[in-house]
Structure 1
Amino acid sequence: MNPTRTGRALVVVDAQQSFLQRESWQASSDPEVANRIGRLVDHFRGRGDRVVWVLHTEPGSGTVFDPELGFVEPMPGLNPADGEPLLTKTAHSAFTGTDLQRLLTGWGVTKVTVCGVRTEQCCETTTRMGSELGLAMTFAVDATATEPIEAPGSTPGRALREILDDPRTLRPEDVITRTVYALAGRFAAVRTVDEIVGEHMPGAR
């Protein structure tokens, strides 16, 4: 018997193999973030909630985000189930240029949890836009990951070691902290995977 559908959805943003091809992923906040994302996916599926997958594409760019190279696929271990939409986007927000809003509205979803890559970029932008659209947003902070961010004006094409040795580089942990401060109490409830799973357990208050 299929579980009863609810007004909740999990949106998995850009948890794709593209990032695994980049040297910078070695210095990401959580190279194994797919494990936490997978735990959330299993939890939402088990409750009968909706799960939507979104992948970032840059057609014709010749980069790891160009579908022609074959890396615009979910990370290993993350597999959309039958009936779970797999959307592609070319903008930061998962709502821009996709059917995401229409799908959520059609399902009667009012509460959305966001996870994926990168914390401060597509995940945060999607969360902000969802809030602006009137959705109750939850940001699964430890089921997101990001990479070091170079200072504005840095020389392009530097090796990872040089980027990390630059004192102006913003470290992943600082990027995540900044995102938490920006979102919490304004655009979303910021929760860990353990908190989300615990909140949804039978008998939880």
Structure 2
Amino acid sequence: MNRETRTALLVIDAQESFRQRPDDWARMANPFVFDNIARLVAHARSAGQLVVWVTHAEPGTGGVFDPELGFVRVVAELDPLDSELRVTKTSVNAFTTTNLHQQLVQHDVRRVVICGIRTEQCCETTARVASDLGFEVEFVTDATTTSDIEPGPGYAGVSADDLISRTASILGSREFASIVTTEQLVHPTEQLTASAAR
């Protein structure tokens, strides 16, 4: 089995729930996040990689993550295929409350590519757990998004852009993941050629 067929793209929480909080959604960084995720999905499909759609649910809460309200679904513009794997989590990371690990092992996956919402929360935590489980992890920073953290008791506020940058620094420098861009994954040969020409 070649390297590409052992790769899974994990699309984390790219779901309608977030857009049901208009004020929060308006503060999200990276307005092109769904465009970049769509490019990653198209690339993964063409390469024969596993595409996994992860959603977050908070049953019984009555909020936008309560499945009863109907918003715990992937945003329509990303158009998941019926044949693609879907898991719904109730924890921050995509592994603890799902059978994702078993599914990846069954598909002989050794490498995971992570994108989605929120950069420093569900995406980062999934990357850390995936690394601990022995997967090679690639974190596509420009295919993630988050919003500002407002100051609170005992902690300072952090802008969304700073959160994305800090997450990349922590994951990359501590070797939890390789930090990549959408372009680097979709057109790796062009990136190598451009680097060699410098």
On whether the aligned pair clears a TM of 0.5, the verdict is yes
Task: Tell me the residue number matched to 1:117.
Answer: 117
Distance across 2 between alignment mates of 1:32 and 1:7: 28
Distance across 2 between alignment mates of 1:72 and 1:31: 21
Task: Tell me the residue number matched to 2:186.
Answer: 197
Task: Tell me the residue number matched to 2:8.
Answer: 9
Task: Tell me the residue number matched to 2:141.
Answer: 141
Task: Tell me the residue number matched to 2:85.
Answer: 85
Moved more, 59-68 or 78-87: 78-87
Contact 1:24/1:147 (<8 A) preserved: yes
- Which 4+ residue blocks in structure 1 deviate beyond 4 angstroms? none
Contact 1:60/1:66 (<8 A) preserved: yes
Distance across 1 between alignment mates of 2:185 and 2:32: 19
Amino acid aligned to 1:151? P
Amino acid aligned to 2:30? D
Contact 1:55/1:89 (<8 A) preserved: yes
Deviation at 1:76, TM superposition (A): 2.6
SS at match of 1:25: helix
Q: Which runs of 5+ in 1 are unaligned?
A: 155-167
- TM-score relative to the length of structure 2: 0.89
Deviation at 1:200, TM superposition (A): 6.6
Contact 1:5/1:50 (<8 A) preserved: no
Deviation at 1:152, TM superposition (A): 2.7
Matches within 5 A, 1:7-156: 7-22=6-21, 23-153=23-153
SS at match of 1:184: helix
SS at match of 1:77: helix
Query: Greater helix percent: which structure?
Result: 2
Q: Which runs of 5+ in 2 are unaligned?
A: none
Amino acid aligned to 1:182? I
> Deviations for 1:88-142, whole angstroms, at most 9, x for unmatched residues?
0000100111111011101111010000000000000000000000000000100
Q: Verify: 1:169 aligned to 2:136, yes or no.
A: no
Matches within 5 A, 1:171-186: 171-185=159-173, 186=175
Amino acid aligned to 2:17? S
Amino acid aligned to 1:175? L
Aligned-residue CA RMSD (Å): 2.0
Task: Tell me the residue number matched to 1:164.
Answer: none
Identity %: 45
- TM-score relative to the length of structure 1: 0.86
> Deviations for 1:52-80, whole angstroms, at most 9, x for unmatched residues?
00000000111110111111111131122
Amino acid aligned to 2:178? A
SS at match of 2:147: coil
Distance across 1 between alignment mates of 2:83 and 2:101: 17
Amino acid aligned to 1:140? V
Amino acid aligned to 1:193? T
Distance across 2 between alignment mates of 1:200 and 1:92: 34
Deviation at 1:32, TM superposition (A): 3.8
